[in-house]
A and B are shown apart, each in its own frame.
Chain A
Amino acid sequence: MASTPFSKLPYDVVLNIFSKLEDDSKSWACLACVCTKFSSLIRNTCMKQKCSKTIPAVCADLLASSSAPPGQWASLYKLSVCCPGLFHAGVLLENSDFGLERELGPDENYHKPANFQDSTQSTEPCYSRTEGNPNPNQEVDVPGSHCSWSLFDDLYYDTVYNASDSIDGYPEQIMNNGTTKIEREFSVCKRRKICRPLRSHLASGIWNLTRERGNKLLASRFRGDCLYICDWPGCVHTEEKRNYMLFRGIFKNFKNSRVWRTINDGNRSKIDLNCAFCSCKQTWDLHSAFCLKRVFGYHDDGEPVVRAYVCENGHVSGAWTDLPLYT
């Protein structure tokens, strides 16, 4: 960092200042984006201390096998405070349209949700990705969403933020793109805009992670694996069809776990659903890999009662749709 008055402050004074914001995740997130020195301090020291305070058992377990948790302390901190959102919990994936494709036939315009992750530097909002698409029917509002912000917008505005742009002006710009609203019940076109409530966000509810909860999720032959999951009900998302109780968790020593061996030996393919907590671009579906308790079953429309996805680092994102049968 260039020589500024702030750079002359002793390290422990800066740490003292940052520690006073430990209950304010947003401030830490902002500070981590200011410069490399702040980023390093927040991620490697502040977050480590906070995790050790709030989830000491998890930290102790994770550190038993390595000097830092997988994905580093920042990922663990984010996992402890953030809900993965419907998107990263896999609720918006193809199988979430249960029965719809059977009724309406295959969707030619279907694009995997991973496309929304592309953060191109286009000056257009995310509709620029529709160029060349002959189908003009673009869904504007996502069912159940309450805003029109997307991750791309955040990145775009952060890069070229102009103080004269008003918040109110922006949504109008989207609506004037000539897009068509489609009735909410049928998401024929999967090219939906991913909105804030569907993405990862600060979780509501208790932020504790327990191994006991993890044991109740996994099939009994994996009882030797150590999976920490947040307490029931996690972060509750009320959607049209049903409620989703989103949870997140982490495996201790994932690459030595039986779940990993099952996935690996079974040569399970990954899906293009990136992890909410680290930079892994793909994850495995634990439900289709038969790692979850079979007893949970499906709803009448084919939706599984519980789904969960795990990344290479052992971060788990998932969603319950009902009370677990054991409660």
Chain B
Amino acid sequence: MAFTWSKTIYMGLDPIFLTELSISIIIFSTIASSKKSRVSKIKTADNEIFEVEEAVATMSNTIKIMAGDCSGGVIPLNNVHSTIFARVIEWCKKHVDDGEDLEYYKGALKNCDATFFEVDQAVLYHLLTTANSLDIKPLLHQGCQRFVDMINGKTVEEIRQLLHIKNDFTNEEEDETRKKLWSSVVGMNSFILL
């Protein structure tokens, strides 16, 4: 108790009433402070500080764990650049109330998400890598789904061109065997699909 019994008696106030009042004040202020969202401070690799609502930031399991270690201080993300982090946070704000259940995210990307992922490949790679390192499973799931949509239905050569991958099968015979084995899986119009 911040005050002594003697003071309250002197002031003529009923000490019991004051005790109850102070308890009520403590309770209300606790409730009030929890309603005001806590903000996490996150510093990206390029030293930019983001102030993000805790509920949004802790969609990342990595940040959640680091927040516990930092106890209110600035959380450093040494591998994430601010531009990508800003995008990630933008996604998290949209989905903060959607929960972590991947069942919710199954299926084709919905409109707003589809737009979100219409980005350069380089940005998509960074999003995927960041979602992986920050352990944001739904974001990773959607990013991978976007990737799947990009490569689905493409021929082998088209996939190579899209992803800038060189054909490094050096052994011609191995190449033939591989094609012999797989052309039957790919199907009748394999010259299109391959």
Q: Are B176 and A119 in contact (CB under 8 A)?
A: yes
User: Nearest 9 pairs between A and B by C-beta?
Assistant: A200-B184, A157-B191, A29-B185, A29-B182, A158-B194, A196-B188, A4-B164, A33-B156, A17-B144
Report whether A33 and B140 are in contact in the complex, using a CB–CB cutoff of 8 Å: no
Cα A200 to Cα B128 in complex, Å, equals: 37
Contact with A along B121-163 (1 / 0, CB 8 A): 1100100110010000000110011011001111111011001
Interface stretch (choices A5-13, A94-102, A229-237, A287-295): A5-13
Q: Quick check: B178 and A32 within 8 Å, CB to CB? A: yes
Bits for A19-44, please: 1 = Cβ < 8 Å to B, else 0: 01100111111111111101100000
Q: Does A161 contact B (CB under 8 A)?
A: yes
Q: Are B176 and A155 in contact (CB under 8 A)?
A: yes
B165 at the interface (CB under 8 A from A): yes
Per the bound structure, the CA–CA distance linking A31 and B158 in Å amounts to 11
Is A322 an interface position by the 8 A CB rule? no
- Which of A30, A36, A78, A119 touches B194 (beta carbons < 8 Å)? A30
Answer yes or no: A108 CB below 8 A from chain B CBs.
Answer: no
* Inter-chain contact B184/A9, CB cutoff 8 Å: no
The interface stretch among B42-50, B53-61, B166-174 is: B166-174
Number of chain A residues whose Cβ lies closer than 8 Å to a Cβ of chain B: 56
B179 within 8 A of A: yes
A78 near B185 (CB under 8 angstroms)? yes
Contact: A16 with B140, CB < 8 Å? yes
Contact A147-B188, Cβ < 8 Å, known A6-B165, A24-B152, A26-B193: yes
A sample of 30 cross-chain residue pairs with beta-carbon separation below 8 angstroms, ordered by A number, consists of A2-B165, A4-B163, A4-B165, A10-B132, A12-B132, A13-B140, A16-B140, A21-B148, A26-B187, A29-B182, A29-B185, A30-B156, A30-B159, A30-B193, A32-B178, A33-B156, A33-B194, A34-B156, A34-B159, A35-B166, A82-B184, A85-B184, A149-B188, A161-B191, A167-B192, A201-B184, A201-B188, A277-B181, A278-B181, A279-B181
Chain B interface, number of residues (Cβ within 8 angstroms):
47
- Closest A-chain residue to B149, C-beta based? A20
Residues of B within 8 A of A104 (CB): none
Q: Select the residue from A6, A85, A119 with max chain B CB neighbours within 10 A.
A: A6
**Which residues of chain A come closer than 8 Å to B176, judged between CB atoms?**
119, 155
Instruction: Mark interface residues in A192-235 (1 if CB within 8 Å of B CB, else 0).
Output: 00001001111000000000000000000000000000000000
Residue B82 CB within 8 A of the other chain: no
When the two chains form their complex, are residues A5 and B164 in contact, meaning their CB atoms are under 8 A apart?
yes
- Nearest CB in chain B: distance from A126 CB, A: 14
The docked-state distance in angstroms from the alpha carbon of A2 to that of B140 is: 25
Binding site for B on A (CB under 8 A): 1-2, 4-10, 12-13, 16-17, 20-21, 24-36, 38-39, 74-75, 78, 81-82, 85, 119, 147, 149, 151, 153-155, 157-158, 161, 167, 196, 199-202, 276-279
* Contact (A30, B155) CB under 8 Å given A25-B185, A35-B160: yes
What chain B residues lie within 8 Å of A151 (beta carbons)? 180, 183-184
CB distance from B144 to the nearest CB of A (A): 5
* Residues of chain A with a CB closer than 8 A to B156's CB: 30, 33-34, 158
B186 interface contact, C-beta 8 A: yes
Closest A residue to B137 using CB positions: A16
CB distance from B53 to the nearest CB of A (A): 27
| Interface contact B191-A153, CB-CB below 8 Å | yes
Question: Within the complex, which residue of B121, B145, B151 is in contact with A27, where a contact is CB–CB below 8 Å?
Answer: B151
A282 to B9, CA, bound (A): 106
Q: How far is the CB of A101 from chain B (nearest CB, A)?
A: 30
Which chain B positions have C-beta within 8 A of A28? 185
CB neighbours (8 Å) of B160 from chain A are: 34-35
B177 at the interface (CB under 8 A from A): yes
Q: B147 touching A17 by the CB < 8 A rule?
A: yes
Which residues of chain A have C-beta atoms less than 8 A from B152's C-beta? 21, 24, 27
Cβ of B190 < 8 Å from any Cβ of A? yes
User: Contact at B194–A199, with CB atoms within 8 Å?
Assistant: no
Indicate if the CB atoms of B181 and A78 lie closer than 8 Å.
Answer: yes
Task: Output the least CB separation between A252 and chain B (Å).
Answer: 22
